[in-house]
Structure 1
């Protein structure tokens, strides 16, 4: 029987120093800009055209189907799902199918979300524990140009923070398909301290013929003093979920009528997961060696577990079905620290930042098992992994002239891992120690501000980054399924990127940025639909253009409009072609929100996904589609409001995601096509139009 998460356990705090980046562009006053200035007007502040800040105001009236859709506020980033809602989402950005997070790194309250050497996929980034109502902001950076970003940051990073105080409220939500949610949150002043607490309980069956029976329990307790730039916060988070999933299925099974549109091939896919964490953050300003300083530090410990049951290929292995379990049980400890020195006019207002990071993953058990109805029938492999990542970084930002500033950064990463095989007939010869390191330079040039109002800047950026591969792949010699010899993959895979762009204030309230980017990746991670895993492929090259706009029109109106185009190709042919599967070439979004703090408020969001290649030749492509979500709200009085979310407003019948791979349905026959499965489209349909009603009461 699969192990279940341990309930209501919060792990102890390990004090390891940590810090986030200094945001300034060379002068001390920029350190406070996110607090005291318009967070969208980054002219004179930003280091690239593709970094930005998403505010709580933008999120407040945004209709969300899933918690992770908070990240869709990052221009060009797409969040979908190919299985149950308790599983990490699927992410797309800059022509990457990021799978569950392999090349985009995210932190919440200074804690990493991406998991290394994970049971289901490298960089697995489960954001289902997010409470969007508590998010104070999202700071994002695209590309490999920030010295604070290490593993999994080829396409960029996002740092999500929570509020330190909120006005007390209780939210009650109900909707179609068994949706229900209760969230209550509030804060209390305790002298110089503020205590914030939040509790969420939710469930959903979804439109699926096999009810999802999603159950989520989520809690936050946060004690803080001061601000994010001069104060501290200690946060305890606890999250648990269990669900039954409807996996992606062969499209032919739906078209033939073998199963309905929201049907499944096998019962009892799904899983259980938990994430308990304790973290601390501290920041202070001061003086050292006659220079003003800003210091930040943080530490965290995370207890994480997952038991995931999936049947991505149906009945290739026979009438019992192809269900397998991927299990992960680990403790993550780490932290980071940095100090910035602002040297003043005598040194061209140079800002020097030095910092370090440490992360240790103690993975007691990570395994793959054959299962039938969630009962283990065979251990393919089970391993214990100890993986340690360390990094040091430094950066100098200098304002050489009123219209010229530069940033020069250098980062050095080292990862060490030890894999110990615990079980598996063909797995016991695998394992061992492996290590890798990389030094990554980062360069940035900013020209401007120009114009009569000083409202336009031009940027040029270049840098190196990386993603890590699973330590089991880097120490493997034998295929644990077949026993055949296999070649180990490198532990670190280098990425090199560059971009040029501009940022301008077109008119009061309209911020716009345009960028042209290019990226080379030494080894692509590609999702294998009939196995439900990612595997390294050949080197790839990408380039694209992004245009992002933010309008504050006054009278309570906010508009976000984004357009992203990209081209992704393997450098050498793979399987007879050079297309990178699932690399979306065109995305666009348009979001409106209105709130003048009167009676009515709401938001509308439209999203377009262009057709993408499903396999390397590009012969098979997905179907392009657009969809819309709507939120409408009405305040009955100062303490009470009601909302109505209409998700998939126009009831588009499209697919949340499409893959190309081998599978067998019952109609195809067990072990069809000689046990290789029949290649075809594997689809997970978009959820139909869904209504959700909410009631908020403040206290």
Structure 2
């Protein structure tokens, strides 16, 4: 059922474009002044109002980062007036941000503001756009960052679902750890925006979306071609270029294509130089196959190689064995590569039904050398390990959405199907020496993991005030592991399915106040090697969560988002990739409060602060023995951002993580830190000069910390204490960008 039919009444329809790229704008708020009627533009930038009496109307169009527009329109009986409108870029005005029932379930006001205001200077900054999300690098610049969010030490992605343009980033049953998510194949200058939501509440998001999910959107088109050069301390160099291939002629035909590349090199601040190298290449095409059908093709390839200093025990520094930026095993390091193909097809039918089809493929290679325990297991050769895999990942995402009007309510029904298959070759964990000699293979085999899913989602806007979202998804897993260690290879497989219901309620009192209650069940899958070892039992542990929150604009230039949340996880088995063993973790619960505030101090100056508390506990352990190691309990980020018409812009930002337990009884504590970063830019039409400073006040801090039992060479017995990777000292970089 499509839009309602009204006899002898007229209507207004239209398309909204970005003037800079001539491409459709999705999510533009279109309002009929004084009537309380509003719409959002769809995937093709289209909107429509029906059932209008013949009369003159005023239409208001607004979109964050664009100049608001008011248009006079005359509607005639039995006719639909068509508008084609272009919006121009403009400085962000918080007073224009509207809390709307139109976009209740997918409203990301905070992330939309942040991406417009904060300069992104490296891949790490992309993840930090999520309020309350912290990252840490503990194995050189090339390894995926360790992630912290909502009372989770997420390792490299166990409980957060990361995608880029809808294509999965997380690697299930990875050689290093479940859900391993390496975002370094993304060129920061090409990130257009981020969509995210904390918790288990979106029907479309399945595996790993327990603490939350993040989808990074890369630019569909370049406003202009550019070249950027960077140079900084510690022999740090970077070059980025983006070339608009079709220019104005392509835009006139609603087509765009660009090619971009990035090369980075750094020795970094460690005593043992990293010799870090990274190469990225990406190309993207966007065009119309038909009047109402868009095709987007993206291809990219990425390669990185590095040395790293590993984690240092406190006693090694106290004894003078090594310095704060030193190393116990200087032969650690790694190499990784990933090649992606992504095809997205969006069709909007004449009755405003939206059909989406996406096909993706990745070829991925990974090799990492680490040494966490030094000489604990092998007092002669040391405990260095190699984790290695070759992977082919392919899949499909599809959905069909339709809208129906029942009285004054609008029902949006979405049916979706998803498929993903990961096939790895020679997934390996081995005991090695000096990255050359293989002493013993601990795990060695092939993995074939399939995840198929179907879901149904209903979004009902009963009125301009009340919106309800309900959905359910079914996921099916088939996990297979071929063990190549025995003389005769053995193959085992197991299957399991899980149902995940969701229910979300939103009540919008006015354009400045909305209350919401999010509830839902989610899950994360376990490593295929655990699945077959447990004969398919307890391999898809459920996660049950809820958020009670408010979005509030007490006055035009202040936006507040606050939520009290709760998350309960079932028993699960965890595969420890560094040791090749299975550990049961028991049930757990986490609860806390998130508060985000954005305030426009002046026309050019913006302030923001995020405060996040969490109380993570193991349910089945005794009181005092029930702490969850490394789970953050209090974090805060914030800063000031400046945007001026004269070309001067930038930000100064802090991040703070409080002390947190490093083991189950809190007898070992991971110390907190407070770090400040600075970014300053001077921009004119064809060039930009930038200064980036990490750790502005040169604080000495520990970026990642672990309670690890290790033995140094010559020690009689192992010692259990904090092992850490030092955070960056004062680190300045200059950049020059030229565009045409």
Identify the match of residue 416 of structure 1 among 448, 458, 478: 478
**1:69 and 2:125 matched:** yes
**Separation in structure 2 between the aligned mates of residue 442 and residue 489 of structure 1, nearest angstrom:** 24
Distance 1:419 1:232, change over 3 A: same
**Separation in structure 1 between the aligned mates of residue 637 and residue 397 of structure 2, nearest angstrom:** 35
Q: What secondary structure does 2:667 align onto?
A: coil
Residue equivalent to 2:352: 292
**Separation in structure 2 between the aligned mates of residue 527 and residue 621 of structure 1, nearest angstrom:** 24
Distance 1:58 1:81, change over 3 A: same
Pairwise mapping of residues 687-698 of structure 1 onto structure 2 (< 5 A)?
687-698=728-739
Q: What secondary structure does 1:130 align onto?
A: coil
**Separation in structure 2 between the aligned mates of residue 613 and residue 528 of structure 1, nearest angstrom:** 20
Q: What secondary structure does 1:254 align onto?
A: helix
Distance 1:205 1:696, change over 3 A: same
Distance 1:50 1:340, change over 3 A: closer
Residue equivalent to 2:323: 260
Pairwise mapping of residues 183-582 of structure 1 onto structure 2 (< 5 A)?
183-189=240-246, 191=250, 192=253, 193-225=255-287, 231-287=294-350, 291-316=351-376, 317-346=378-407, 348-375=409-436, 376-423=438-485, 431-447=491-507, 449-451=508-510, 454-476=511-533, 490-523=538-571, 531=579, 535-553=583-601, 555-573=603-621, 577-582=625-630
**Separation in structure 2 between the aligned mates of residue 85 and residue 535 of structure 1, nearest angstrom:** 29
Distance 1:395 1:528, change over 3 A: closer
TM-score (norm 1): 0.88
Q: What secondary structure does 1:374 align onto?
A: coil
| CA displacement at 1:622 relative to structure 2 | 1.6
Tell whether the 8 Å contact from 1:469 to 1:489 is kept in structure 2 after alignment.
no
Distance 1:77 1:503, change over 3 A: same
Distance 1:517 1:641, change over 3 A: same
**Separation in structure 2 between the aligned mates of residue 527 and residue 72 of structure 1, nearest angstrom:** 27
Q: Which has the larger radius of gyration?
A: 2
**Separation in structure 1 between the aligned mates of residue 600 and residue 435 of structure 2, nearest angstrom:** 51
**Separation in structure 1 between the aligned mates of residue 605 and residue 582 of structure 2, nearest angstrom:** 42
Q: What secondary structure does 1:343 align onto?
A: strand
Residue equivalent to 1:651: 698
Q: What secondary structure does 1:396 align onto?
A: strand
Q: What secondary structure does 2:559 align onto?
A: strand
**Separation in structure 2 between the aligned mates of residue 138 and residue 281 of structure 1, nearest angstrom:** 18
**Deviations 1:65-108 (CA, angstroms, capped at 9, x unpaired):** x4133111111000111211100000000000000000000111
Deviates more, 1:438-447 or 1:190-199: 190-199
| CA displacement at 1:187 relative to structure 2 | 1.3
Residue equivalent to 1:661: 708
Residue equivalent to 1:29: 39
Distance 1:381 1:229, change over 3 A: farther
| CA displacement at 1:280 relative to structure 2 | 0.7
Q: What secondary structure does 2:245 align onto?
A: strand
Tell whether the 8 Å contact from 1:455 to 1:505 is kept in structure 2 after alignment.
yes
Q: What secondary structure does 2:101 align onto?
A: coil
**Separation in structure 1 between the aligned mates of residue 27 and residue 177 of structure 2, nearest angstrom:** 32
Deviates more, 1:30-39 or 1:553-562: 30-39
Deviates more, 1:404-413 or 1:556-565: 556-565
Distance 1:490 1:383, change over 3 A: farther
| CA displacement at 1:222 relative to structure 2 | 0.5
Q: What secondary structure does 2:177 align onto?
A: coil
Distance 1:374 1:194, change over 3 A: same
Task: Provide the alpha-carbon RMSD of the alignment.
Answer: 2.8
**Deviations 1:304-354 (CA, angstroms, capped at 9, x unpaired):** 010011001111121311111000111000011111111024372111110
**Separation in structure 2 between the aligned mates of residue 471 and residue 380 of structure 1, nearest angstrom:** 16
**Separation in structure 2 between the aligned mates of residue 358 and residue 540 of structure 1, nearest angstrom:** 30
Q: How many residues are paired up?
A: 652
Q: Any unmatched runs of 5+ in structure 2?
A: 1-25, 30-36, 46-60, 65-96
**Separation in structure 1 between the aligned mates of residue 575 and residue 480 of structure 2, nearest angstrom:** 25
**Separation in structure 2 between the aligned mates of residue 243 and residue 593 of structure 1, nearest angstrom:** 34
**Deviations 1:25-72 (CA, angstroms, capped at 9, x unpaired):** xx99335499764456443244469955634973664364x4133111
Residue equivalent to 1:43: 100
Q: What secondary structure does 2:127 align onto?
A: helix
**Separation in structure 1 between the aligned mates of residue 594 and residue 288 of structure 2, nearest angstrom:** 37
| CA displacement at 1:123 relative to structure 2 | 0.1
**Separation in structure 2 between the aligned mates of residue 382 and residue 528 of structure 1, nearest angstrom:** 15
Distance 1:355 1:626, change over 3 A: same
TM-score (norm 2): 0.83
| CA displacement at 1:509 relative to structure 2 | 3.1
**Deviations 1:570-612 (CA, angstroms, capped at 9, x unpaired):** 0011797000011101111113221224232211111110111
**Separation in structure 1 between the aligned mates of residue 677 and residue 38 of structure 2, nearest angstrom:** 42
Q: Any unmatched runs of 5+ in structure 1?
A: 1-20, 478-486
